[in-house]
Amino acid sequence: LQGLEPDEIRALLGLTREFAEQGPRPVLTGRTVATLFFEDSTRTRTSFMLAASRLGATVVDLSGAGTSMSKGETPTDTAQVIEAMGVDAIVVRDKHAGVPSLLHRAVQCSVLNAGDGKHEHPTQGLLDLYTLGESLGLLDSFDYSGLNIVIVGDLASSRVARSTTAGLSALGAHVTLVGPPTLAPRKLSVLGCDVSTDLDAALEDADAVMMLRIQFERGAGRQLAGVADYRVGYALDPERAARLKPGAVVLHPGPINRGVELDTPVADGGRSVVLRQVRNGVFVRMAALSACMATLPA
C-alpha cells in the first residue's frame, strides 16, 4: 500500500463494499489463479482461494512443500512454469521481502502480494481499513481524518503494520505505533506516524487498537526480557480494554498468541472485530483479484 494514492485505495475499498453488500459476480469465469505460498498461512491463502473461486476462476494451489522448489527450482522459474500453463494471476507469499516484485518482473500475468517478509501485506492492510470503516460508520467516505489508531506490539517484524499504517495515513488517520524500543524502532516514523513506548497514554484517545502477534518464529522473543515483562507494558488485558473509550474497537490480524499480546476475554469480547477482519478478507481479495485481472483480455 506504500505509494498508492488515497483515491486508488478508496477505489479498492469501494469495490470491496460492492462485493460485501451485493455478493460475488462471475467476473473471472474462464480465468485461472495460482496460489503460491512459500510460507504458512490460514487466512490469506484460504480467502484468496475462496475469493477467486466465488468469482468464477479456476484455482490451482501450490505451496513450497510438494513442488519442485524442494529440488532447487527458484521462485522465478516456478512462476514462469505456472504461467506457461496459462495461469492469469499468481498470488505469492514468501519469507523474503521483494519476491512478489521479482516475480512481477519475470512474468506477464498479474502478481498479487500475499505477504513478503517484513515488507508488506497489502490485502491485510486493505481489510483492516475496510473493517475500521465498517465498524466506525465510514463506508460512504473512507475519510479517516480525525481518527486515532494505535497499533501495538512487534512492529519491527510486522509487514501488516507497514501496510496498514501506510493505508491509514493515506486516508487521513493519525497512527501511533507502540511497543518496547527493541520492537518499535523510531525509524518507523517514516511511515508518517508517531512511535511511542507508552501504551496507556496512547489508548486514552484511541478509536481503535490493533494488537500484533509477537513473531517468535522471526526471533522477536530474543528482543524481550520475557513474556511476563512484555505483558506489563503492552498486553491488551481486560483491565486495559475496559479503559478504552466507548465505541473503540479491537483488531488483530491473526494468528493471535492468546495470553501474550491479547487476552481471550478481549479477543472474544464485544469490542473485538477480529472475525469481521477475517470475513472482510474474502471481499477485499475479490476486489484485488478483479481489479488486477480486469486489465487482461477476456
The site for ligand CP (CB under 6 A) is made up of 41-44, 115, 121, 124, 253-255
Q: Which is nearer to ligand CP, 95 or 231 (CB)?
A: 95
- Min separation Cβ 12 and ligand CP, Å: 18
Q: Which is nearer to ligand CP, 24 or 115 (CB)?
A: 115
- Min separation Cβ 202 and ligand CP, Å: 22
Q: Which is nearer to ligand CP, 127 or 199 (CB)?
A: 127
Q: Which is nearer to ligand CP, 38 or 174 (CB)?
A: 38
Q: How far is CA 15 from CA 75, 201, 275, in A?
A: 31, 36, 20
Neighbours of 252 (CB within 10 A): 26
- Min separation Cβ 113 and ligand CP, Å: 11
- Min separation Cβ 177 and ligand CP, Å: 18
- Min separation Cβ 260 and ligand CP, Å: 16
Q: Which is nearer to ligand CP, 44 or 257 (CB)?
A: 44
- Min separation Cβ 253 and ligand CP, Å: 4
Full strand arrangement of the beta sheet holding 208-211: 194-196, 174-178, 148-152, 208-211, 249-251
Neighbours of 80 (CB within 10 A): 14
Q: Alpha-carbon dihedral of residues 113, 114, 120, 123, nearest 10 degrees?
A: 90
Q: What phi and psi, each to the nearest 5 degrees, are found at residue 61?
A: -105, 120
Full strand arrangement of the beta sheet holding 89-94: 58-63, 32-37, 89-94, 110-116
DSSP output for 138-181: -TTT---TT-EEEEES-TTT-HHHHHHHHHHHHTT-EEEEE--T
Q: Which is nearer to ligand CP, 29 or 42 (CB)?
A: 42
